[in-house]
Structure 1
Amino acid sequence: MVAVFYKDMLSWYLLTLKIREKLEAENQGQGSEPINPDQNLPSLPEVTRSDQDQEESNHNHDQTLSEASKIEVTKGSPKEPRDDWVISITDKLEQAHRDDDTTIWGKLCIYRVPYYLQENDNKSYFPQTVSLGPYHHGKKRLRPMDRHKWRAVNKILKRTNQNIKMYIDAMRELEEKARACYEGPFGLSSNEFIEMLVLDGCFVLELFRGAVEGFTELGYARNDPVFAMRGSMHSIQRDMIMLENQLPLFVLNRLLELQLGTRNQTGLVAQLAVRFFDPLMPTDEPMTKTDQSKLENYLARDKAFDPFADMGELHCLDVFRRSLLRSSPKPEPRLSRKRWSSRNTRVADKRRQQLIHCVTELREAGIKFRRRKTDRFWDIQFNNGYLEIPRLLIHDGTKSLFLNLIAFEQCHIDSRNDITSYIIFMDNLIDSHEDVSYLHYCGIIEHWLGSDSEVANLFNRLCEEVVFDTEDSYLSRLSVEVNRYYNQKWNAWRATLRHKYFNNPWAIVSFCAAVILLVLTLSQSFYAAYAYYKPPS
């Protein structure tokens, strides 16, 4: 009995001593005075204790052991879930602070197409043959073109007797600047991103130069599966004009400088791009032979050729867009001069995108249509009741081209919306296949699609999710003039008379005969009445 009692009390004493030692260690870490382990510790009890005291001691021993185990569990338990939640919120705020850096936004120019536009037709926004840039890099369906990209790099190195390291070092210097051009993270390491710039950039330049100089002159076989002017080139051109499939123009400029061995090649890549994408132009006026000879002479080191000055082009899509608008004087000024001025701070209203009535309604109001002879497809004029519209050529690549131009103008704040304004204007004009048929009759629309209904459907779907301010359109003044003419009742009455009674030569003959008959009848009646009141003497 006594041995058991001593054993229990000794266990209680050792546990208490252990707890004291832990408390002392914690207090020393907090700078407090150490605790004497013998202080306030109970002395070993005497043998002469009652059974009641023994039961109390056993109860205290069990309670102390339970508290000690609780302390041990608390000390070794992991952090509470709430702590991880607070850390997660802090990380998100830090990322938001980094994303709020406006200096990064200023360099952004290659965007991901917004989802609300992709719902219209995502195939027109995503490449089907070749990937350029990081957004679609490494996708399975586009990998077969990678071996042809490496062929292009190899051909350049052999032709110029250069080392690949020179290109890698040059792209490493431009890496940070190039990354800032793209929207959002894309998961490529530094080496992968630099390799992508070299590979895609050299591939693009080979296509550009081959379209001007000839691929055989660059060392490619006549029957090359990619570097030859064959049917697949149209698919490649269409992919290279997509918004998500772009390379910064300064990357291409630097790579071309390395190839030619001289600096100050400003504007040459832009000129090559315009020549390469010329078959996609929505007009039937190809680049003149004079323009082609200028490019060929420059590539032959003819210093007489003065390339365009640097206009601040961002990438090939921006170059193509500027080429559509650069070849002529600027469009008419808008009703609102500044796109984001203090007068134009409201959100564009989707209900106010009707610039003009459709062709059928305008014809009923007496407005006539005729083709305007110019290669500037957007240069529309209205004079003396005639709406003059340049010829527009529509082919199977027009839809993708217009959709990506619209997407760029919707995303890039510093871009005017001239292409979007033109397409919405044409969308207003075309409501049905009858409208397309009449514009085709006037020589305004030429298309290679299956039917006029497909053309009408194309325009009606191009701007389904696009929102813009009608007052910010270069066609706003013209639309006001057309609508003013449309609202004049006399013009509508005159048009109705012409459409119903003068719509063919036989109707004109019948009308003239009726007028003559009416005049003769009135004359006969007059002379009969005159003879009755004033008979001859």
Structure 2
Amino acid sequence: MAEAEENQMLLPIYCRSTDHKDQLPIMDNAVVVEVKDNLKKLLMKSVAVEKLGSSGKTIKPSIYKIPNFIKDVHKEAYMPHMVSFGPYHHGEKNLAPMEQEKLKVFRHLVDVKGVDYESIVSDVSNILEDLYGAYDDLDEDWWKDNAGSAKFMKMMIIDGCFMLVFLSNDEGCRSLITLKSDIKRDILLLENQLPFQLLKLLYEILPIRKDQNTTLTSLISNLLFVEKDELAIVEKKHILHMYRASLLYPPTLNYPIRDEIKENNKDDEFGLKCQIIPQATLLREVGIRFQKSKNKSLENVSFEKGVLTLPSLIVDDNTKTNLLNVMAFEKLHDEVGSQVTSFVVLMHNLIRIDKDVQLLSNGNINIIANAFMNDRDAVNLFSALGKGVYMETNNLTKIYISVNQYCDKSWNKWCADLKQSYFQNPWSILSLFHAGVFGFAILIVQAVYQIVDFHTKK
């Protein structure tokens, strides 16, 4: 028994070397071979992915599988409820009914519209490498063999055709008219994007509703309820990318870089001053006024002479999902900035209680267009949007610093303390008035006594 236990507890054999202080175990050749094979497989997989792309060029992904550290905070906001587009959610059971609708639309295109699906397959195969390269962290089953590639291409064609028929309001999708808002929601999810290159190719082939003024961009602008000029960005990756462009249209000013800001603000509180700003009602108490900007770009924020200018924003049931997916895209795709995220963080700072919403949504300011039934829902929205989001120096850093410096001025702080202490309710104002009158009366009595005392001694 003891001999058996001794055989199970094999100790590594160590070698001593005069050149090395550490003692290293002598590794079995089989272990070395296995490690080499594993590394080789990883390298081959990496090379296979890097080779994807036309003209021998590597394509940088623009459609991402959202990592759990982002998704777990608001999981439902990133998940399709009605329909899947692309590989990430393909085949999920709750989305199965819409797969049948996709096939109906494709049959309509072939049987009624006379689409030559063989030519579509041929044209899509020419950009297949580009389509693969658009997706990050694509499961191996989609590309490891011919069967996987065939499945991927079939999915791209059917999903792309369905989306274009839906966007064009073609009769092939008339039965889905009542689901339009639900499908639109799913079209704007980051994990549900289709490469714009695919949509452009299919749009030129399919005999869907077109006239002289209709373009693919105009169809997408109708979906997003924006002007097509707002989607005119240099390189369109997908519809969510275009939606982000509409939020930042028209382009605004360039902002100072981090080193420039730090040079002018060397105090120890630099970190807090450039990341945290008081809520709207507290800013009003120190004399800061709010004003709606002249255009709706989320970059159009300024602070000058005690006036904080902000763009207008409609908040409704879709705002949370849309903005969270744009923010995820900004975080994962380093070719775009973080302007939308930094605006959301700013609003998260400004809106903490119901009165903040009331202030920013009243008729004179009208910065927040609140489509919810009550102000509490809007507060909860901005609280959720800012949860788990950390911003370092960004395009609004200069605004944060300027506002905080304004708040730190002694006169403004004194006014804020006075308002906080005495002007919160009518009884406080009345007590302050009585105290003032009583104090003034005492001064008069003291003056009279001094005069009488002076004449008596005289």
Band the TM-score falls in, shorter-chain normalisation: 0.7 to 0.9
Q: Distance in 2 between matches of 1:438 and 1:452?
A: 10
User: Do the aligned partners of 1:382 and 1:388 also contact (CA within 8 Å) in 2?
Assistant: yes
Residue in structure 2 matched with residue 199 of structure 1 by the alignment:
158
- Decide which moves more: 489-498 or 110-119: 489-498
Say if 2:317 is the partner of 1:392. no
Residue in structure 2 matched with residue 492 of structure 1 by the alignment:
413
* SS state at 2:134 partner: coil
Q: Distance in 1 between matches of 2:425 and 2:384?
A: 36
Residue in structure 2 matched with residue 366 of structure 1 by the alignment:
287
Larger radius of gyration: 1
Deviation digits for residues 303-348 of structure 1 (CA, Å, limit 9, x no counterpart) = xxx99766111111101101211x213244143399xxxxxxxxxx
Q: Distance in 2 between matches of 1:365 and 1:174?
A: 59
Residue in structure 1 matched with residue 133 of structure 2 by the alignment:
180
Amino acid corresponding to residue 126 of structure 1 in structure 2: M
Q: Distance in 2 between matches of 1:307 and 1:375?
A: 11
Q: Distance in 2 between matches of 1:353 and 1:139?
A: 44
* SS state at 1:387 partner: strand
Residue in structure 2 matched with residue 132 of structure 1 by the alignment:
85
Q: Distance in 2 between matches of 1:103 and 1:354?
A: 41
Q: Distance in 1 between matches of 2:189 and 2:255?
A: 29
Question: Structure 1 residues 130 and 334 mapped into 2: Cα distance closer, same or farther (>3 Å)?
Answer: farther
User: Do the aligned partners of 1:335 and 1:476 also contact (CA within 8 Å) in 2?
Assistant: no
Question: Structure 1 residues 268 and 460 mapped into 2: Cα distance closer, same or farther (>3 Å)?
Answer: same
Deviation digits for residues 131-159 of structure 1 (CA, Å, limit 9, x no counterpart) = 00011111111111112112222333356
Q: Distance in 1 between matches of 2:74 and 2:127?
A: 34
Say if 2:372 is the partner of 1:462. no
Deviation digits for residues 352-399 of structure 1 (CA, Å, limit 9, x no counterpart) = 973312224323433233444533344222222122223322111111
User: Do the aligned partners of 1:152 and 1:203 also contact (CA within 8 Å) in 2?
Assistant: yes
Per the normalisation by structure 2, the TM-score is 0.75
Question: Structure 1 residues 499 and 366 mapped into 2: Cα distance closer, same or farther (>3 Å)?
Answer: farther
2:175 to 222, 225, 237: 225
Question: Structure 1 residues 83 and 206 mapped into 2: Cα distance closer, same or farther (>3 Å)?
Answer: farther
Using the TM superposition, give the Cα deviation of residue 163 of structure 1 relative to its aligned residue in structure 2, in angstroms.
Answer: 1.0
1:452 to 375, 379, 388: 375
Say if 2:375 is the partner of 1:375. no
Q: Distance in 2 between matches of 1:450 and 1:253?
A: 40
Give unmatched runs, 5+ long, in structure 2: 1-27, 53-57, 143-147, 261-269
Question: Structure 1 residues 426 and 98 mapped into 2: Cα distance closer, same or farther (>3 Å)?
Answer: farther
Q: Distance in 2 between matches of 1:444 and 1:197?
A: 41
Q: Distance in 2 between matches of 1:123 and 1:95?
A: 35
Question: Structure 1 residues 310 and 260 mapped into 2: Cα distance closer, same or farther (>3 Å)?
Answer: farther
Using the TM superposition, give the Cα deviation of residue 124 of structure 1 relative to its aligned residue in structure 2, in angstroms.
Answer: 0.8
Amino acid corresponding to residue 104 of structure 2 in structure 1: R
Question: Structure 1 residues 395 and 83 mapped into 2: Cα distance closer, same or farther (>3 Å)?
Answer: farther
2:220 to 270, 273, 287: 273
Q: Distance in 1 between matches of 2:30 and 2:117?
A: 47
Using the TM superposition, give the Cα deviation of residue 478 of structure 1 relative to its aligned residue in structure 2, in angstroms.
Answer: 1.1
Question: Structure 1 residues 512 and 391 mapped into 2: Cα distance closer, same or farther (>3 Å)?
Answer: farther
User: Do the aligned partners of 1:350 and 1:467 also contact (CA within 8 Å) in 2?
Assistant: no
Residue in structure 2 matched with residue 215 of structure 1 by the alignment:
none
Alignment of 1:143-158 (within 5 A): 143-158=96-111
Residue in structure 1 matched with residue 326 of structure 2 by the alignment:
405
- Decide which moves more: 364-373 or 195-204: 364-373
Deviation digits for residues 13-49 of structure 1 (CA, Å, limit 9, x no counterpart) = xxxxxxxxxxxxxxxxxxxxxxxxxxxxxxxxxxxxx
Give unmatched runs, 5+ long, in structure 1: 1-81, 211-217, 279-286, 296-305, 339-348
Question: Structure 1 residues 310 and 434 mapped into 2: Cα distance closer, same or farther (>3 Å)?
Answer: closer
* SS state at 2:175 partner: coil
Say if 2:153 is the partner of 1:234. no
Say if 2:74 is the partner of 1:118. no
Question: Structure 1 residues 129 and 194 mapped into 2: Cα distance closer, same or farther (>3 Å)?
Answer: same
Using the TM superposition, give the Cα deviation of residue 260 of structure 1 relative to its aligned residue in structure 2, in angstroms.
Answer: 5.7
Q: Distance in 1 between matches of 2:314 and 2:259?
A: 31
Residue in structure 1 matched with residue 43 of structure 2 by the alignment:
97
Question: Structure 1 residues 172 and 328 mapped into 2: Cα distance closer, same or farther (>3 Å)?
Answer: same
Question: Structure 1 residues 99 and 431 mapped into 2: Cα distance closer, same or farther (>3 Å)?
Answer: farther
Question: Structure 1 residues 523 and 329 mapped into 2: Cα distance closer, same or farther (>3 Å)?
Answer: farther
Using the TM superposition, give the Cα deviation of residue 175 of structure 1 relative to its aligned residue in structure 2, in angstroms.
Answer: 1.0
Q: Distance in 2 between matches of 1:523 and 1:144?
A: 88
- Identity over aligned pairs, percent: 29
Question: Structure 1 residues 464 and 430 mapped into 2: Cα distance closer, same or farther (>3 Å)?
Answer: same
Q: Distance in 1 between matches of 2:408 and 2:338?
A: 28
Alignment of 1:344-359 (within 5 A): 354-359=275-280
Q: Distance in 2 between matches of 1:246 and 1:352?
A: 37
Amino acid corresponding to residue 336 of structure 1 in structure 2: R
Deviation digits for residues 158-185 of structure 1 (CA, Å, limit 9, x no counterpart) = 5643311111111111111110111123
Alignment of 1:254-273 (within 5 A): 254-259=201-206, 268-273=215-220
Q: Distance in 2 between matches of 1:269 and 1:367?
A: 44
User: Do the aligned partners of 1:335 and 1:477 also contact (CA within 8 Å) in 2?
Assistant: no
Say if 2:196 is the partner of 1:243. no
Using the TM superposition, give the Cα deviation of residue 84 of structure 1 relative to its aligned residue in structure 2, in angstroms.
Answer: 6.4
Q: Distance in 2 between matches of 1:352 and 1:505?
A: 34
Q: For the aligned residues, what is the CA RMSD? A: 3.9
User: Do the aligned partners of 1:366 and 1:492 also contact (CA within 8 Å) in 2?
Assistant: no
Alignment of 1:57-68 (within 5 A): none
Question: Structure 1 residues 108 and 136 mapped into 2: Cα distance closer, same or farther (>3 Å)?
Answer: same
Per the normalisation by structure 1, the TM-score is 0.65
Amino acid corresponding to residue 171 of structure 2 in structure 1: G
Paired residue total = 400
